[in-house]
């Protein structure tokens, strides 16, 4: 289950403190110019160590493409890529070898596999999201040719919704050695109507699964979402209208661009909730593998608000999902015969 | 994409006003006693026409099992079943043939397929959820043998959270010919630690996709979810403890029974948000297929709050998901070799 | 694993002596005129009891379509269908409840599921192939619009390759209460170049898996196949030529229309080998579930040469495979950008 | 479609003349000791340049494992690995940039993708099979713990079936600058009864698809196969017997260890046919991309009989398939309830 997607697929590997992380993009359309600078700029947006608001861990994140590209363009063959791990101070995590970190995946990985790479969370580390960003950047290159763009931003941190408030809160939380959750909003524009595969591949179900697969994501909604809980149907329904250019659209967009699981041509809008990172610099009660009770005090580097760095990851997962569903929609269209055959 | 699941799989078919709806359950373990009374009782919970709070449409919902059962027990072969449609007053929906119903799937199905069965929403009707309940009932029979139970309930309607308040609000909305959204909560108890398939098959991502695939579901969260947005990591983290019986667990359950995408043995808790049903008895502005602007006044029967009837559907989708992931976890376990080989 | 295909998918259910067999076709393009007479004529080709060469079992094989069709055309929604079983003399098979029939699936089903429906082979009966023929007939309706046709024929029975020889041999074997194997050849014409998904979805690998999934199929080859084992590369290679209409093709077709796993525009040619049906009217040594050794003498009806009735099943599986891969090829094409972007 | 398998999955990337080839093994059970020497020895069996019978191309084939292994044992996380390409004399292939090589994938790749990496066959090169051998070697390590072994050998070259005859024929063909086909036989021993997933995941269908996915494989059969075409059912049927240890088995093994698509506990036996490699050192008629007719004379290195080097690849694909189906079988077993519940 380390493969994401149906027709545009990303398979990933790698642990935070192993030799490398990387992936394989399968289903990349042929002939697409691979703008490596763009891929690098996308990775830079996710990279830690850029601001005093995020973890001090510095990752060079140099991606090397290994296949599927010839003369600067995709060939349709799988694109393998690798990102070597460089700054991996395993020492910081020695305590984790003994004690289960609360609300991390330590205990559950041990329960599942009976054994784990305990260095920095191993496979469950957020380090892995760098690979998703590469897969998303390639998807964006394809979507751009169809006029589709994906844009996410941090909407809320704790109860704060202004830029200044969010920043101040993150700084405060960081000083306390604590962490805080946040909400990322994302909008896809230029997406044609018709994407989504009833019944179990509804477009919002796919987007939801994509977001919930990101580390620390604990919730998802789209359109008016949880905030619209008190709205009546008569308020929530999006009246259909005819735009001045003759096209059909909706007067409002409480449906978030998706109706019956299928895009309707309006902007696709959704939110992803991220919990506070469980890595905090305060002593916590826990147990070790043998069940001994004790107190764990973590050292090292941490992100006080992972939602902040999740922004490009949300975009990447959304871009891959939209392209995947666009391709699925294209599969059947040449065979549709809407007009009766004479 | 009318198949749900990986190893325990439900494939469905059928429109609200066609000859029948039905499905095929593939991957059913062998030798399970098929309690048809239980299946019927589960379907009765979903059936409309039972209360003045739901649609007056009366569906007999007689399920006939066609295969995969011998001497009252499952054989491991696929279980085909069929539910004939009986009460299908298509006349009520004639207007829908002409006008796109706002926030329904009419327009998007036409955009995707160029053609649709307009009677009562066709494939996009909530009628289809009866099939999910059958698939879920069979999954519950398997889970029961492992001591796992799935229980959902209506938590909130609009801003109301008490039973009396919710009922009063639904009645009020119904009288107004309007509709209202709600939130269903679900808890899975008895689930062992270890279920979930990193990285893209996280257990909560699978549950989220399952819920979001249900008609009108617009949001999902688990554990402390969106309501925990203001919590610090130090509050949100679930301290690991050793229970009196020697087992390891958590002091709190803000993680909703899932950490790193894998169940930790605590109750699994999540919520599903349902928007107000778009079918309302009030005139609405819309367009027809040619783009003419007009007003649509629907007649017929409607559910003022689909969240109410979604409760058994939420349980069904959760039961199928948990069984599916339980089976996936079992696939690898006999091969694990946690202790070093001498 | 009772679903066949990726984008055009057939899910099936049913045992030979249960209430019904049937299936769900998912991924059917929309707007296709569903010619039910054609479906019936395809089923008639497979039906037993038509000739003295095949089993006397008479199956009405009345297919009822339940969904996915509106005003005589497909809607894009899944097409559910059911075929009631009528002539099911279970009595003939009573001995099978006690004794494992040699080279049948009795013993292996018991080993896998610990329990089985022993009436007439249950799920493993060739009765199930009727459902495949329905799925294939619908696929043929789609392929016909693209000018693609699929045609199979019996090439060999035992060592006989002439029509008269094959018929005489089957009669002889039938009189002896014995059975004989055969080879079915199939040709797909009108298929465009480009179908096939390297590396693990090579078109011939998909066709091979499709054929080998048919009851009693024990071998598959394509192009010059096993008969070409003594050819040198210089003989086997298909020289590329330019046809008079300017199109590129090959001078010979030893590649069977597929090179590198991708169709090249030439006719696709392959063969499927069918073993003698294991049901024979002669006493055979075997054991029962408890391991007692004994002799089993089967009564009832049997096919002396299943290859004969496999002809329309081979076509059906080929048609579904070709359509499935055609759809997969179409998914990426709108995104390909063969010419460098300026 | 560059992923092979369902629960044990290999995803691959890489071209013969690019930077590297490699893959990701997903679903590897945890705790397995990774014997890197064994992996290397498996790769050495496939490596060209070892004998005067195969291509002179020398590949170092140094595999580097990047993830999923900790303290010498698998962790259950995906195992990423990379094999750098070193000896890639692209110059030999310059002509191929202009002229389509007959019976290669050049023309079909261009038809599918509109664009290709023409160096040495690019993605369609047999170089890629090195990655399969790594995936198979890891699978063998798991199977060995269950007492299962996979062994393949060259059975036939052209019409030659003796070791001396095969060797002489290959030498002769090589001197002529020509090539010849061959048949590889494979036997899996120690496999328990019960593996195989009816109806479309029959064990032999999976093995067939696995073999047919290997470069140049043009045919597959199992058990008595095409050679048994003249056998009667009474000869072909495998009588069930009780072995001296009380276990049930068959007196003969014409079924090749598989009945009804499910393993029966006897050795699994199948054959894979390989056509002559299309790369020959003789002038051949062909066309270029513009449709100009001409003659292509290839230089460089070639394998006169790819079947020879396919032996370890056949084993690798078989090992992965058996493990994959073993895991699928294990998924449902803990839920089976063969005895009636009281």
In this predicted structure, what is the pLDDT of residue C243? 86
For the segment D132-187, what is each residue's pLDDT rounded down to a tens digit? 999 999 999 999 999 999 999 999 999 999 999 999 999 999 999 999 999 999 99
Task: From chain C, pick out residues whose CB is under 8 angstroms from the CB of A33.
Answer: 337, 340-341
Beta-carbon separation of D76 and B340 below 8 A:
no
Beta-carbon separation of B13 and C24 below 8 A:
yes
Residues within 8 A of B (CB atoms), D 90-129 only: none
Q: In this structure, what token pair is assigned to residue B154? A: 């209506």
Please name every residue paired with A228 in a beta bridge, in sequence order, or none if there are none. none
Q: Does A200 touch chain C (CB under 8 A)?
A: no
Is A248 in a helix, a strand, or coil? strand
In this predicted structure, what is the pLDDT of residue A243? 86
Task: From chain D, pick out residues whose CB is under 8 angstroms from the CB of C233.
Answer: 103, 178-180, 276-280
In this predicted structure, what is the pLDDT of residue C342? 44
Q: Does C242 touch chain A (CB under 8 A)?
A: no
Indicate the length of chain C as a whole number.
342
- pLDDT averaged over every residue in chain C: 92
Minimum mean pLDDT among A30-34, B14-18, D297-301, D309-313: which range? Answer: D297-301
- List the subunits that have 3+ CB pairs under 8 angstroms with C: A, B, D
* Integer Cα distance of C242 and D100 in angstroms: 12
Beta-carbon separation of A67 and D19 below 8 A:
yes
In this predicted structure, what is the pLDDT of residue A342? 44
Beta-carbon separation of C330 and A331 below 8 A:
yes
In this predicted structure, what is the pLDDT of residue C60? 67
For the segment C34-78, what is each residue's pLDDT rounded down to a tens digit? 999 999 999 999 876 566 676 655 556 899 999 999 999 999 999
Q: Does B342 touch chain D (CB under 8 A)?
A: no
For the segment B236-263, what is each residue's pLDDT rounded down to a tens digit? 999 999 988 888 999 999 999 999 999 9
Minimum mean pLDDT among B24-33, B120-129, C278-287, D71-80: which range? Answer: B120-129
Closest CA to A35 of A72, A77, A76: A72
Beta-carbon separation of B11 and C78 below 8 A:
yes
Place of tokens 């409480």: A254
**D38 has pLDDT over 80:** yes
How near does any CA of chain C get to the CA of D67, in Å? 24
| Band (C338; pLDDT cuts 50, 70, 90) | confident
For the segment A255-296, what is each residue's pLDDT rounded down to a tens digit? 999 999 999 999 999 999 999 999 999 999 999 988 899 999
How near does any CA of chain B get to the CA of A71, in Å? 32
Q: In this structure, what token pair is assigned to residue C112? A: 């896998």
Beta-carbon separation of D236 and C124 below 8 A:
no
Point out the residue among B108, B200, B254 whose CB comes nearest to the CB of A1. Answer: B200
In this predicted structure, what is the pLDDT of residue B340? 55
Does this model's pTM top 0.90? My answer is yes
| Band (B307; pLDDT cuts 50, 70, 90) | very high
| Band (D92; pLDDT cuts 50, 70, 90) | low
How near does any CA of chain B get to the CA of C32, in Å? 10
In this predicted structure, what is the pLDDT of residue C34? 97
| Band (D341; pLDDT cuts 50, 70, 90) | very low
For the segment C238-267, what is each residue's pLDDT rounded down to a tens digit? 999 998 888 899 999 999 999 999 999 999
In this predicted structure, what is the pLDDT of residue D298? 78
How near does any CA of chain C get to the CA of A94, in Å? 42
For the segment C124-160, what is each residue's pLDDT rounded down to a tens digit? 888 999 999 999 999 999 999 999 999 999 999 999 9
Point out the residue among C76, C77, C331 whose CB comes nearest to the CB of A330. Answer: C331
Report, as an integer, the average pLDDT of A190-207: 97
Burial C154-174 (b: 16+ CB within 10 A, else e): bbbbbebeeeeebbebbeebb
Task: From chain D, pick out residues whose CB is under 8 angstroms from the CB of B30.
Answer: 332, 336-338
* Integer Cα distance of C217 and C211 in angstroms: 7
For the segment A5-21, what is each residue's pLDDT rounded down to a tens digit? 999 999 999 999 899 99
| Band (C277; pLDDT cuts 50, 70, 90) | very high
The proportion of chain B whose per-residue pLDDT surpasses 90, expressed as a percent, equals: 80
For the segment B74-87, what is each residue's pLDDT rounded down to a tens digit? 999 999 999 999 86
Query: Residues 6 or more apart from A208 whose CB is under 8 A from it?
Result: A220, A222, A270, B205, B208, B209, B212, B220
In this predicted structure, what is the pLDDT of residue A92? 53
In this predicted structure, what is the pLDDT of residue A265? 97
Task: From chain C, pick out residues whose CB is under 8 angstroms from the CB of A198.
Answer: 77
Minimum mean pLDDT among B12-16, D57-61, D137-141: which range? Answer: D57-61
- pLDDT averaged over every residue in chain B: 92
What distances in angstroms separate CA A32 from CA A6, A29, C254, C268, D113, one per listed residue? 20, 7, 34, 31, 11
Point out the residue among A199, A262, A284 whose CB comes nearest to the CB of B108. Answer: A262
In this predicted structure, what is the pLDDT of residue B342? 44
DSSP code string of D8-63: SEEEEEE-TTSSEEEEEEESPPTT-B--HHHHHHHHHHH-TTSSTTS--------E
CATH number belonging to domain D3-335:
3.60.150.10
Task: From chain B, pick out residues whose CB is under 8 angstroms from the CB of A198.
Answer: 1-2, 105, 123-124
Residues within 8 A of B (CB atoms), A 202-221 only: 202, 204-206, 208-209, 212-213, 218-221
In this predicted structure, what is the pLDDT of residue B27? 97
Q: What ipTM was predicted for this assembly?
A: 0.95
In this predicted structure, what is the pLDDT of residue D18? 93
The beta strands (E) that lie in A56-209 are given as 63-65, 69-70, 73-74, 79-84, 149-157, 182-189
Residues within 8 A of D (CB atoms), C 270-299 only: 273, 275-280, 282, 284-287, 291-293
Region for D13 from its dihedrals, namely left if φ exceeds 0, alpha if ψ lies in -120 to 50, beta otherwise: beta
For the segment A287-299, what is each residue's pLDDT rounded down to a tens digit? 998 889 999 987 7
* Contact pairs from chain A to chain C, CB under 8 Å: 84
In this predicted structure, what is the pLDDT of residue D342? 44
For the segment C211-245, what is each residue's pLDDT rounded down to a tens digit? 999 999 999 999 999 999 999 999 999 999 998 88
Place of tokens 């796919």: A206
Please name every residue paired with D183 in a beta bridge, in sequence order, or none if there are none. D156, D273
How near does any CA of chain B get to the CA of C105, in Å? 13
In this predicted structure, what is the pLDDT of residue A27? 97
Minimum mean pLDDT among B210-224, B278-292, C38-52: which range? Answer: C38-52
In this predicted structure, what is the pLDDT of residue A341? 46
Q: Are strands D79-84 and D63-65 parallel, antiparallel or unpaired?
A: antiparallel
Residues within 8 A of B (CB atoms), A 23-52 only: none
In this predicted structure, what is the pLDDT of residue A64? 97
Beta-carbon separation of B327 and D327 below 8 A:
no
- List the subunits that have 3+ CB pairs under 8 angstroms with B: A, C, D
Report, as an integer, the average pLDDT of A120-140: 92
Please name every residue paired with B33 in a beta bridge, in sequence order, or none if there are none. B73
Q: Does D263 touch chain C (CB under 8 A)?
A: yes
| Band (A46; pLDDT cuts 50, 70, 90) | confident
**C91 has pLDDT over 60:** no
| Domains of chain D, residue spans | 3-335
Q: Minimal Cα distance from A67: which residue of D?
A: D14
* Integer Cα distance of B241 and A288 in angstroms: 10
Interface test with A, best of D34, D36, D78 (most A CBs within 10 A): D78
HEC profile of chain B:
CCEECCCCEEEEEECCCCCEEEEEEECCCCCCECCHHHHHHHHHHHCCCCCCCCCCCCCCCCEEECCCEECCEECCCCEEEEEECCCCCHHHHHHHHHECCCCCCHHHHHHHHCCCCCHHHHHHCHHHHHHHHHHHHHHHHHHHHCCCEEEEEEEEECCECCHHHHHHHHHHHHHCCCCECEEEEEEEECCCCCCCECCCECHHHHHHHHHHCCCCEEEEEECCHHHHCCCEHHHHCCCEEECCCCCEEECCCCCCCEECCEECCCCEEEEEEECCCCCCCCCEEEEECCCCEEEECCCCCCCCCHHHHHHHHHHHHHHHHHHHHHHHHHHHHHHCCCCCCC
Point out the residue among D27, D330, D341 whose CB comes nearest to the CB of B330. Answer: D330
CB atoms near residue B62 (< 10 Å): 11
Please name every residue paired with D73 in a beta bridge, in sequence order, or none if there are none. D33, D70
**A215 has pLDDT over 80:** yes
CA C38 vs. chain centroid, Å, equals 18
How near does any CA of chain B get to the CA of C76, in Å? 6
In this predicted structure, what is the pLDDT of residue C117? 80
How near does any CA of chain C get to the CA of D193, in Å? 6
For the segment C168-179, what is each residue's pLDDT rounded down to a tens digit? 999 999 999 999
How near does any CA of chain A get to the CA of B210, in Å? 7
CB atoms near residue D137 (< 10 Å): 26
Point out the residue among A103, A205, A218 whose CB comes nearest to the CB of B238. Answer: A103
Task: From chain B, pick out residues whose CB is under 8 angstroms from the CB of D79.
Answer: none
Beta-carbon separation of B337 and D27 below 8 A:
no
Q: Does A70 touch chain C (CB under 8 A)?
A: no
Query: Residues 6 or more apart from A75 whose CB is under 8 A from it?
Result: A30, A68, A69, D113, D115, D116, D117, D122, D123
Q: In this structure, what token pair is assigned to residue D82? A: 């990379």
Beta-carbon separation of B331 and D333 below 8 A:
no
């Amino acid at each position: 289950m380390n493969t994401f997607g149906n027709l545009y697929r990303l398979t990933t590997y790698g642990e935070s403190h192993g030799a490398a992380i990387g992936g394989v993009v399968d289903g990349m359309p042929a002939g697409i110019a691979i703008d490596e600078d763009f891929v690098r700029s996308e990775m830079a947006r996710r990279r830690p160590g850029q601001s005093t608001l995020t973890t001090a861990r510095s990752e060079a994140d140099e991606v090397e493409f290994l296949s599927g590209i010839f003369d600067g363009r995709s060939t349709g063959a799988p694109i393998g890529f690798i990102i070597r791990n460089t700054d991996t101070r395993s020492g910081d995590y020695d305590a984790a070898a003994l004690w289960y970190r609360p609300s991390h995946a330590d205990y559950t990985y041990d329960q599942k596999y009976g054994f784990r790479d305990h260095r920095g969370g191993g496979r469950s580390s957020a380090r892995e999201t760098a690979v998703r960003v590469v897969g998303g950047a390639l998807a964006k290159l394809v979507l751009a040719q169809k006029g589709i763009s994906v844009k996410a931003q941090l909407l809320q941190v704790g109860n704060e919704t202004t830029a200044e408030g969010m920043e101040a809160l993150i700084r405060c939380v960081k000083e306390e050695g604590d962490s805080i959750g946040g909400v990322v909003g994302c909008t896809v524009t230029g997406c044609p109507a018709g994407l989504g595969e009833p019944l179990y591949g509804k477009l919002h179900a796919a987007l939801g699964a994509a977001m919930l697969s990101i580390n620390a994501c604990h919730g998802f909604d789209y359109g008016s979402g949880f905030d619209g809980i008190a709205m009546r149907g008569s308020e929530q329904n999006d009246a259909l209208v005819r735009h001045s250019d003759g096209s059909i659209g909706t007067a409002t967009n409480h449906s978030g661009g998706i109706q019956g699981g299928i895009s309707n041509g309006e902007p696709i809008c959704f939110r992803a909730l991220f919990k506070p990172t469980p890595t905090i610099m305060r002593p916590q009660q826990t147990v070790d593998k043998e069940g001994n009770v004790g107190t764990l005090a973590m050292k090292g580097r941490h992100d006080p608000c992972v939602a902040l760095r999740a922004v490009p990851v949300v975009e990447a997962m959304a871009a891959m999902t939209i392209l995947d569903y666009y391709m699925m929609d294209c599969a059947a269209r040449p065979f549709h015969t809407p007009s009766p055959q004479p």
